[in-house]
């Protein structure tokens, strides 16, 4: 496939690895956070970790929307489906996210709730057209990449005055999550989570552009390199970060110039700001309440806002006591530091959210890296 295959070339990867090894100074460690789950997945799947010098460490960030969706939000969706009799539609990734009382959307469906997996927000609106006698609610999750399609579907529902459709909005924002990590005690008290720079998101940045990251580079003196999701993109971004650190620079650089511009996709930004406004606070799994980190539907579109329509009240629910997802999402712990990892918590039966999506740190390590942890013993 064009623009995919050539960015996975093994020989070129070796070449980048060699020059990376030559450029990384042996006398200091380098720690970079890849914010996005897409990068976490690429790093695990393509064995990028093995190609890095031993003193270059990647820390997984919280950029997996499924992972950061708190239990209380999934509970709201289950409540709508089981108690209010709505057709609840959502993306496939959300189906297995653990909720209260050992439930998930998948298990609620097994108990008879009408829960449907859709490929696109437009498919959910299609269901509302097809079933005018039923309430159809779209559980919308995702970062800036996934927000514009939700905005389009709400605008379309308003245009057609489709009264039996609404959206339970859980869209979250990347820059506020990065700020939250940089302000966290673990990062500020250098030593617990040392972060020398960030790999910036690929597809989020197509929408928001590279400009929103300038603040982190300037204010926090952290280099940011926006990278595509293919393995060569990630390797090149790490090389660019090592160079910035070596030269004492803290700038925003863009490795993904084939799709990301400084200003981003203006058509997408326009529809998002027409339909959504900032929430003053939103709970993230792992990070807790983060100010101005999520979006809600503007009052002009209140008729399509499931929270208003069904008068939903959010109740926070603590995670499983032994689950380390919170610390893993903040970069404080690794998947293997969790007692539940690979024992009771597996991708088939996830206890914590990081084991659900293939982009979650735990699922990625379970699928592609867990045998690396076991020493090879001959004979």
Partner 1 sequence: MCLALPACVIERLDGEELLIDLGGVRKRVSGALTPEAQVGDYVIVHVGHAIGVIDPEEAAQTLALFAELSAAEQAAAMEQSQ
Which residue, 126 or 194, has its beta carbon nearer to partner 1? 126
Under the binding rule (CB under 8 A), the answer on residue 143 touching partner 1 is yes
User: What residues have CB less than 8 Å from 297, skipping those under 6 apart?
Assistant: 154, 167, 169, 275, 276, 277, 304, 305, 307, 308
Q: What's phi and psi for 137, nearest 5 deg?
A: -115, 130
Per rule CB under 8 A, count of chain residues that contact partner 1 = 62
Neighbouring C-beta atoms of residue 246, cutoff 10 Å: 13
- Tokens for 357, please give them: 């999506």
DSSP structure string for 241-290: HHHHHHTT---EEES-TTT--SS--HHHHHHHHHHEEEEEEEEETTTEEE
* 234-240-241 Cα angle (round to 5): 90
Question: Minimal distance in Å, beta carbon 161 to partner 1?
Answer: 18
107 is a contact residue toward partner 1 (CB under 8 A):
no
Residue 232 binds partner 1, judged by CB under 8 A: yes
Alpha helix locations (H) across the chain?
Answer: 10-23, 37-45, 48-51, 65-68, 71-83, 105-110, 121-130, 147-160, 174-183, 185-188, 203-208, 214-219, 231-246, 266-275, 306-309, 325-329, 361-368
Q: Is the CB of 48 or the CB of 235 nearer to partner 1?
A: 235
Q: Is 351 helix (H, G, I), strand (E, B) or coil?
A: coil
| From 32, 38, 79, 250, residue interacting with partner 1 (rule: CB under 8 A) | 38
Q: Is 80 near partner 1 (CB under 8 A)?
A: no
Q: Which of residues 220 and 231 has its CB atom nearest to partner 1 in the complex?
A: 231
Q: Six-digit token pair at 231?
A: 């393995």
Q: Which is nearer to partner 1, 93 or 135 (CB)?
A: 93
15 binds partner 1 (CB under 8 A): yes
Query: Of the two residues 3 and 337, which places its CB atom closer to partner 1 in the complex?
Result: 3
Q: CA 67 to CA 345: how far, in whole Å? A: 14
**93 binds partner 1 per the rule CB under 8 A:** yes
x/- track of binding to partner 1 for residues 152-181 (CB under 8 A): x-----------------------------
Site for partner 1 in 236-275 (CB under 8 A): 236, 239, 243, 255-260, 265, 267-268, 271
Considering beta carbons, is residue 65 or 331 the nearer one to partner 1?
65
- From 80, 168, 204, 323, residue interacting with partner 1 (rule: CB under 8 A): 204
The answer to the question of residue 7 lying near partner 1 (CB under 8 A) is yes
Burial degree of 319 (CB within 10 A; 0-12, 13-18, 19+): middle
Q: Give the residues lining the site for partner 1 (CB under 8 A).
A: 1-4, 6-7, 9, 12, 15-16, 18-20, 22-23, 36-38, 64-66, 91, 93, 119-123, 141-143, 145-146, 148-149, 152, 201-204, 206-207, 228-229, 232-233, 235-236, 239, 243, 255-260, 265, 267-268, 271, 357, 359
């Amino acid at each position: 496939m064009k623009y995919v295959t050539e960015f996975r070339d093994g020989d070129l990867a070796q070449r980048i690895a060699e020059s990376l090894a030559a450029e990384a100074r042996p006398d200091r460690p380098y720690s970079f956070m890849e914010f996005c789950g897409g990068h976490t997945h690429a790093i695990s799947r393509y064995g990028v970790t093995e190609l890095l010098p031993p003193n270059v460490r990647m820390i997984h960030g919280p950029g997996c929307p499924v992972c950061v969706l708190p239990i209380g939000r999934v509970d709201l969706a289950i409540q709508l489906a089981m108690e209010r009799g709505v057709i609840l539609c959502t993306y496939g990734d959300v189906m297995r996210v653990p909720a209260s009382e050992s439930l998930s959307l998948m298990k609620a469906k097994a108990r008879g709730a009408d829960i449907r997996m859709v490929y696109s927000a437009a498919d959910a609106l299609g269901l509302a057209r097809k079933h005018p006698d039923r309430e159809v609610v779209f559980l919308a999750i995702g970062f800036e990449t996934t927000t514009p399609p939700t905005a389009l579907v709400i605008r379309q529902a308003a245009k057609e005055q489709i009264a039996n459709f609404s959206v339970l909005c859980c869209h979250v924002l990347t820059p506020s999550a990065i700020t939250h990590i940089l302000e966290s005690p673990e990062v500020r008290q250098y030593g617990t989570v040392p972060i020398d720079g960030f790999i910036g998101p690929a597809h989020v940045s197509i929408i928001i552009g590279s400009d929103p990251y300038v603040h982190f580079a300037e204010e926090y003196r952290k280099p940011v390199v926006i990278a595509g999701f293919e393995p060569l993109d990630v390797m090149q971004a790490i090389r660019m970060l090592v160079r910035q650190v070596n030269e004492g620079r803290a700038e925003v650089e863009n490795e993904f110039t084939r799709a990301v511009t400084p200003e981003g996709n203006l058509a997408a930004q326009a529809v998002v700001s027409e339909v959504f406004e900032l929430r003053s606070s939103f709970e993230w799994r792992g990070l807790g309440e983060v100010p101005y980190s999520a979006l809600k539907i503007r009052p002009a579109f209140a008729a399509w806002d499931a929270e208003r329509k069904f008068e939903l009240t959010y109740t926070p629910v603590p995670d499983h006591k032994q689950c380390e997802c919170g610390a893993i999402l903040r970069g404080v712990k690794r998947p293997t530091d969790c007692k539940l990892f690979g024992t009771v918590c597996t991708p088939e039966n996830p206890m914590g959210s990081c084991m659900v999506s293939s982009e979650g740190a735990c699922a990625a390590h379970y699928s592609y890296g867990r045998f690396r942890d076991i020493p090879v013993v001959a004979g």
